[in-house]
């Protein structure tokens, strides 16, 4: 019987098919486009371009192989996979031979078997015979193939001349390279090139002398390696092996879960022994990452069992006294009493809460429910306030939905990619690898960033335009770009007529065609030469598929929301929305920031982005929750902090956020926290905020609970418990306990019940359930009666708001200006190895790559100021000052300095100001005017920080208490 194979859908993600699936959209093909062949008597139909090896594997005929694996293109070097083709001479390699109509293939005969044994004999003669003590024992493809070909003797002895004495490279903290076991199959090299796009490995020498080397024959740590692990995963032997497996042995079982770091939302197999995670292996079936990973998700999970985890519930009357270890019951009763007494004294609105984008959807939902139902107000906010709140506002206004429009797969169809204010290789590395692959295939790249991000100079990528705009001038830039597209007639007129509100368009048309919006008029403001801006605008507008990816360099400005609307205008103007390869793609920072917004974490919105003032929506929740909900929006985080300083806001429940480190103007945040009468912090570590807390509830890491995360593609993916919560409760259980202590009953037995409640109350989640997620692997919302399988691409036939809305985006310069007292502009960002406030990654060997934040400045500025590499530099703004170590680099332009904020003692946010986006209060982190001075000691704030840190750590209960 003829078997048809859909290359995308029929694959078992746990099986290696030898070569990748062909890049064909099966659903648009009909069976007539398939190629039919016969392998070992079985008739098989597969898409053209499929290798014989893969076609056979799809029919469960497993041809021996060593140099082939389905994450990389076939190479054809080991000759183990040869087959016989009727009517053809010789024995071709099945991994490099594509199917052809009518081929009749035999995968096994005596001659083939003999050749395969000979091949294996040669391999084994140059391989250490230490199988029983090898860390790959039982999970080694060389071992498997030896058995599969029936090798019984090795005629050439075991004294191979090439590799047996090669030295180990243990420079990488997470994996070891043991070249004596290398079979030079080059799978690692191809994985580094094709999957990761780093080109860190090469095959040095020829023939028997060939060997794998990193960089210029350096150690892995000194090479361009970014420790993504793709080579380790591709290696068929133990040559490249995780140190955790070397130390702890092979895992026993696996659980599929989702990375808890960034908004890419990579799917992983947590490989476990007992209840200990041995390694995290990127899951091939994960649709966000397609089997790839970065150093954080792949290796930096050890924080979950770090000795600094705080796993006991603690209380204290004030922050100048030691913590008292208490039971969960005592802690929540203490917290509830304090919250109630504050409300009695200062009023219902004097307390509130902050949800966590590190926590699951279900946990976020419960926190906002607790604030609304048990606290009785809408004073709930989330960290999206300080990152992507302008995305929510800007996209809702223009296209009607507060989320990105695409899947990550979509980038494979893009012809021009514009990356604005984002640094994907550092902040969204797995997406960056997919993007780089597309760029190597020929898509064009436009980078809009004041700093030279790594993408600009990636190997084999040609950046058409790097537009180095001045920080704070995004809106001027986007207007100039729209002006070029419109005035040069490059816009999609028919699309506009069909899909836009024409009245708004007419208004916008008049606005954008004003001469003040031309690239020439704005060149002095943006710093971008008009000719280059025009060329880049034409490139984007004239291509078939133009995609925009953006990050916090767009949102964290005084005009963040305006810029998001400007980006939406560009996409709508050119018809680049509503299909694959195009779209508006906000690259979300934290793992569940999309989810925390979806779940009603904003003070003005209930789950599903519905305004609290909408009577019908409120009634729906009121009926279900059995309480009355305030119809007035509550306080945003900055308002909470201001009110706390003013003395009218006295109680805060802060789950899994570290506002003392992450929010701007640290001294103001600290003053606010010190003024609270009840700060309840729920976290896995004594973070900076917890140093001001009265109640500490131990949080659970992503390995300690069930739930779901939603990534930047709106993809809801499962989070699975692999070990018991170290503090005794998952975070949703802790919130329930607090709610019950406050007198508002919650009695969920499992997070699936919370998701059922969310689905019953939120139209875009109506079709979501744990059962559906288990069946599908993940679901992209909206998922409801109209779209039961979810929605990969949004706005296909119409916008969520009906017609698209063209918002006017007038450029208004920030008030944060340089002058002779503050002549430099400071902008901030992230590095690959650290994550956000660093609470997790700083407690892993990732700090080997970045153990402190430095200040990047241009060598000319260094020379002017007498600052050399490694000097201590005072960075002083209108808000405050800190001291950082200088790093001179041409990555930044003269007049612009840059730092990261991964280490609390750096005090990057002591310097950032209270300025914020006009619509959402998202802080203007990306533009701070500063002065630089060479100094020889740390700042006053840093000294105070050190003292506070020492004191607060000493207040923790001792181990034997």
Interface with ligand FES by CB under 6 A: which residues?
65-68, 76-81, 93, 95
Q: Which stretch binds ligand SF4 (CB under 6 A): 424-432, 753-761, 793-801, 915-923?
A: 424-432
Cis geometry, peptide bond prior to residue 78 (ω within 30 degrees of 0): no
CA distance 792 to 774: 18
Task: Assess 226 for contact with ligand SF4 (CB under 6 A).
Answer: yes
From the list ligand SF4, ligand FES, none, partner contacted by residue 143 (C-beta under 5 to 8 A by kind): none
DSSP result, 343-363: HHHH-GGGEEEEE-TTS-HHH
Using an 8 Å Cβ cutoff, are 261 and 832 in contact? no
Q: Which of 80, 105, 234, 678 touches ligand SF4 by CB under 6 A?
A: 234
Provide the Cα torsion 363, 368, 370, 372; round to 10°. -170
Could you tell me the smallest distance in angstroms from the CB atom of residue 89 to ligand FES? Answer: 18
Closest CA relative to residue 902, chosen from 321, 356, 426: 426
From the list ligand SF4, ligand FES, none, partner contacted by residue 281 (C-beta under 5 to 8 A by kind): none
CA distance 70 to 79: 17
From the list ligand SF4, ligand FES, none, partner contacted by residue 80 (C-beta under 5 to 8 A by kind): ligand FES
From the list ligand SF4, ligand FES, none, partner contacted by residue 227 (C-beta under 5 to 8 A by kind): ligand SF4
CA distance 510 to 576: 22
Could you tell me the smallest distance in angstroms from the CB atom of residue 532 to ligand FES? Answer: 47
Task: Assess 261 for contact with ligand SF4 (CB under 6 A).
Answer: yes
Could you tell me the smallest distance in angstroms from the CB atom of residue 703 to ligand SF4? Answer: 14
Taking CB under 6 A as the rule, which mask of x and - marks residues 163-192 in contact with ligand SF4?
-------------------xxxxxxx--xx
Could you tell me the smallest distance in angstroms from the CB atom of residue 12 to ligand SF4? Answer: 22
Task: Assess 264 for contact with ligand SF4 (CB under 6 A).
Answer: yes
Task: Assess 718 for contact with ligand SF4 (CB under 6 A).
Answer: no
What the block records as the tokens of 142 is 């060389």
Could you tell me the smallest distance in angstroms from the CB atom of residue 17 to ligand FES? Answer: 12
* Binding residue count for ligand SF4, defined by CB under 6 A: 41
Which of residues 64 and 450 has its CB atom nearest to ligand FES in the complex? 64
Q: Which stretch binds ligand SF4 (CB under 6 A): 222-230, 545-553, 569-577, 789-797?
A: 222-230
Q: Taking the CA atoms of 56, 59, 65 and 70 in sequence, report the sign of the dihedral they define.
A: positive
Could you tell me the smallest distance in angstroms from the CB atom of residue 12 to ligand FES? Answer: 19
Could you tell me the smallest distance in angstroms from the CB atom of residue 13 to ligand SF4? Answer: 16
Query: What is the spatial order of strands in the sheet that 351-355 belongs to?
Result: 324-326, 313-315, 695-698, 678-683, 651-655, 351-355, 380-382
Q: 464-483: which residues touch ligand SF4 (CB under 6 A)?
A: none
Half-sphere exposure of 20 (CA within 13 A, CB side): 16
Could you tell me the smallest distance in angstroms from the CB atom of residue 70 to ligand FES? Answer: 11
What the block records as the tokens of 750 is 């499992």
Task: Assess 135 for contact with ligand SF4 (CB under 6 A).
Answer: no
Closest CA relative to residue 630, chosen from 348, 393, 366: 348
Q: Which stretch binds ligand SF4 (CB under 6 A): 286-294, 542-550, 653-661, 687-695?
A: 286-294
Could you tell me the smallest distance in angstroms from the CB atom of residue 75 to ligand FES? Answer: 7
CB contact burial 450-465 (16+ within 10 A = b; e otherwise)? bbbbbbbebeebebbb
Give the phi and the psi of residue 547 in degrees, each rounded to 5: -120, 140
Give the residue nearest to ligand SF4 (CB).
Answer: 297
Q: Which stretch binds ligand SF4 (CB under 6 A): 232-240, 397-405, 738-746, 751-759?
A: 232-240
From the list ligand SF4, ligand FES, none, partner contacted by residue 259 (C-beta under 5 to 8 A by kind): ligand SF4
HEC string of 169-204 equals: ECCCCCEEECHHHCCCCCHHHHHHHHHHCCCCEEEE
Which of residues 61 and 294 has its CB atom nearest to ligand FES in the complex? 61
From the list ligand SF4, ligand FES, none, partner contacted by residue 909 (C-beta under 5 to 8 A by kind): none
CA distance 664 to 907: 10
What the block records as the tokens of 160 is 């191979």
Could you tell me the smallest distance in angstroms from the CB atom of residue 78 to ligand FES? Answer: 3
From the list ligand FES, ligand SF4, none, partner contacted by residue 273 (C-beta under 5 to 8 A by kind): none
Which of residues 212 and 679 has its CB atom nearest to ligand SF4 in the complex? 212
Task: Assess 228 for contact with ligand SF4 (CB under 6 A).
Answer: yes
Could you tell me the smallest distance in angstroms from the CB atom of residue 845 to ligand SF4? Answer: 14
From the list ligand FES, ligand SF4, none, partner contacted by residue 79 (C-beta under 5 to 8 A by kind): ligand FES
627 CB neighbour count, 10 Å cutoff: 14
335: Cβ–Cβ under 8 A, 6 or more apart, which residues?
A: 315, 653, 678, 680, 694, 695, 697, 738, 741
Beta bridge partners of 900: 829
Could you tell me the smallest distance in angstroms from the CB atom of residue 186 to ligand SF4? Answer: 5
Helical (H) or strand (E) element with 554: helix 552-555
330 burial level (CB within 10 Å; 0-12, 13-18, 19+): middle
Could you tell me the smallest distance in angstroms from the CB atom of residue 131 to ligand FES? Answer: 21
Task: Assess 39 for contact with ligand SF4 (CB under 6 A).
Answer: no
Taking CB under 6 A as the rule, which mask of x and - marks residues 288-307 in contact with ligand SF4?
-x---xx-xx----------
Which of residues 408 and 477 has its CB atom nearest to ligand SF4 in the complex? 408
Could you tell me the smallest distance in angstroms from the CB atom of residue 426 to ligand SF4? Answer: 10
Could you tell me the smallest distance in angstroms from the CB atom of residue 225 to ligand SF4? Answer: 3
Beta bridge partners of 855: 886
Three-state DSSP class for residue 6: coil
Q: 191-210: which residues touch ligand SF4 (CB under 6 A)?
A: 191-192, 196, 198, 200-201
Task: Assess 429 for contact with ligand SF4 (CB under 6 A).
Answer: yes
CA distance 434 to 409: 8
Q: Which stretch binds ligand SF4 (CB under 6 A): 48-56, 227-235, 435-443, 482-490?
A: 227-235
Using an 8 Å Cβ cutoff, are 257 and 831 in contact? no
Sequence-distant contacts of 137-146: CB under 8 A, at least 24 apart = 137/250, 138/250, 139/250, 140/236, 140/237, 140/238, 141/66, 141/236, 141/237, 142/66, 142/183, 142/236, 142/237, 145/64, 145/65, 145/66, 145/80, 145/120, 146/120
Q: Which residues bind ligand SF4 (CB under 6 A)?
A: 182-188, 191-192, 196, 198, 200-201, 212, 225-231, 234-237, 239-240, 259, 261-262, 264-266, 289, 293-294, 296-297, 428-430
């Amino acid at each position: 019987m003829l078997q048809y194979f859909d290359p995308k859908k029929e694959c078992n993600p746990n099986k290696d098919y030898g070569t990748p699936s062909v890049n064909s959209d099966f659903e648009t093909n009909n069976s007539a486009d398939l190629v039919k062949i016969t392998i070992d008597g079985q008739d098989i139909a597969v898409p053209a371009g499929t290798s014989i090896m893969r076609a056979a594997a799809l029919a469960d005929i497993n041809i021996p192989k060593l140099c082939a694996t389905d994450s990389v293109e076939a190479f054809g070097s080991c000759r183990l996979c040869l087959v016989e083709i009727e009517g053809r001479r010789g024995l071709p390699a099945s991994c490099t031979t594509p199917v052809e109509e009518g081929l009749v293939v035999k995968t096994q005969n005596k001659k083939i078997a003999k050749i395969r044994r000979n091949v294996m004999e040669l391999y084994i003669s140059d391989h250490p015979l230490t199988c029983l003590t090898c860390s790959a024992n039982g999970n080694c493809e060389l071992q498997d193939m030896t058995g599969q070909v029936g090798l019984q003797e090795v005629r050439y002895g075991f004294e191979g001349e090439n590799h047996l004495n090669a030295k180990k490279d243990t420079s990488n903290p997470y994996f070891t390279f043991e070249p004596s076991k290398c079979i030079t199959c080059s799978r690692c090299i191809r994985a580094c090139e094709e999957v990761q796009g780093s080109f860190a490995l090469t095959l040095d020498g020829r023939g028997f002398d060939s060997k794998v080397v990193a960089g210029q024959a350096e150690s892995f740590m000194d090479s361009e390696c970014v420790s993504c692990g793709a080579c380790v995963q591709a290696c068929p032997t133990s040559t490249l092996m995780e140190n955790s497996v070397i130390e702890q042995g092979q895992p026993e079982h696996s659980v599929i879960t989702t990375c808890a770091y960034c908004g890419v939302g990579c799917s992983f197999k947590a490989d476990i022994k007992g209840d200990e995670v041995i390694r995290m292996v990127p899951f091939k079936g994960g649709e966000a990452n397609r089997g790839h990973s970065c150093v954080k998700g792949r290796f930096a999970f050890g924080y979950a069992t770090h000795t600094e985890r705080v796993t006991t519930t603690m209380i204290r009357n004030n922050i100048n006294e030691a913590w008292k270890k208490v039971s969960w019951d005592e802690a929540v009763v203490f917290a509830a009493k304090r919250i109630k007494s504050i409300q009695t004294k200062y009023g219902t609105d004097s307390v509130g809460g902050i949800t966590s984008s590190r926590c699951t959807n279900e946990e976020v939902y419960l926190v906002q429910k607790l604030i609304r139902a048990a606290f009785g107000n809408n004073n709930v906010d989330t960290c999206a306030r300080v990152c992507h709140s302008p995305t929510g506002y800007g996209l809702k206004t223009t296209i009607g939905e507060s989320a990105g429009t695409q899947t990550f797969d979509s980038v494979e169809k893009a012809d021009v990619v514009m990356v604005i204010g984002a640094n994907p290789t550092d902040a969204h590395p797995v997406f960056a690898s997919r993007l780089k692959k597309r760029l190597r295939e020929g898509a064009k790249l436009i980078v809009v960033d004041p700093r030279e991000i790594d993408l600009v100079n990636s190997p084999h990528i040609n950046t058409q335009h790097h537009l180095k705009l001045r920080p704070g001038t995004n809106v001027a830039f986007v207007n100039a770009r729209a002006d070029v597209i419109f005035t040069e007639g490059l816009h999609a007129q028919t699309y506009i007529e069909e899909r836009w509100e024409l009245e708004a368009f007419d208004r916008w048309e008049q606005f954008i065609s004003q001469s003040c919006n031309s690239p020439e008029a704005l060149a002095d403001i943006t710093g971008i030469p008009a000719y280059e801006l025009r060329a880049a605008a034409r490139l984007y507008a004239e291509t078939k598929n133009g995609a925009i990816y953006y990050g916090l360099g767009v949102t964290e400005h005084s005009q963040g929301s305006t810029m998001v609307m400007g980006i939406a205008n560009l996409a709508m103007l050119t018809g680049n929305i509503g299909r694959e390869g195009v779209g508006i793609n906000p690259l979300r920072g934290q793992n569940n920031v999309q989810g925390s917004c979806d779940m009603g974490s904003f003070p003005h919105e209930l789950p599903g982005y519905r305004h609290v003032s909408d009577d019908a929506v409120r009634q729906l929740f009121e009926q279900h929750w059995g309480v009355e909900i305030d119809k007035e929006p509550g306080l945003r985080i900055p308002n909470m902090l201001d009110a706390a300083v003013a003395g009218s806001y006295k109680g805060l429940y802060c789950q899994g956020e570290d506002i003392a480190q992450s929010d701007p103007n640290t001294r103001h945040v600290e003053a606010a926290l010190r003024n609270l009468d009840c700060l309840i912090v729920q976290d896995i570590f004594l973070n900076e905020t917890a140093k001001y807390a009265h109640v500490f509830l131990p949080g659970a890491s992503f390995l300690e609970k069930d739930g779901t995360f939603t990534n930047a593609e709106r993809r809801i993916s499962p989070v699975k418990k692999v070990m018991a919560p170290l503090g005794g409760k998952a975070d949703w259980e802790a919130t329930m306990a607090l709610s019950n202590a406050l007198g508002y009953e919650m009695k969920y037995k499992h997070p699936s019940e919370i998701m059922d409640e969310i689905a019953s109350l939120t139209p875009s989640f109506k079709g979501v359930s744990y059962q559906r997620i288990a069946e599908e692997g993940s679901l992209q919302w909206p998922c409801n009666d109209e779209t039961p399988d979810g929605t990969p691409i949004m706005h296909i036939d119409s916008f969520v708001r009906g017609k698209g809305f063209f918002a006017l985006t007038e450029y208004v310069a920030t008030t944060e200006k340089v002058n002779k007292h503050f002549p430099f502009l400071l902008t901030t960002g992230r590095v690959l190895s650290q994550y956000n406030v660093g609470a997790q990654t700083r407690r892993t060997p990732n700090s080997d790559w970045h153990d402190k934040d430095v200040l990047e400045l241009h060598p000319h500025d260094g020379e002017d100021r007498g600052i050399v590499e490694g000097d201590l530099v005072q960075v002083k703004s209108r808000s405050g000052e800190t001291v950082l170590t200088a790093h001179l680099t041409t990555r930044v332009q003269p007049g612009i300095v840059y730092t990261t904020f991964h280490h609390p003692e750096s005090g990057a946010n002591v310097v950032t100001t209270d300025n914020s986006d006009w619509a959402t209060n998202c802080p203007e982190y990306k533009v701070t005017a500063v002065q630089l001075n060479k100094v020889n000691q740390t700042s006053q704030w840093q000294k105070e920080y050190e003292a506070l840190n020492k004191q607060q750590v000493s207040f923790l209960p001792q181990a034997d208490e």
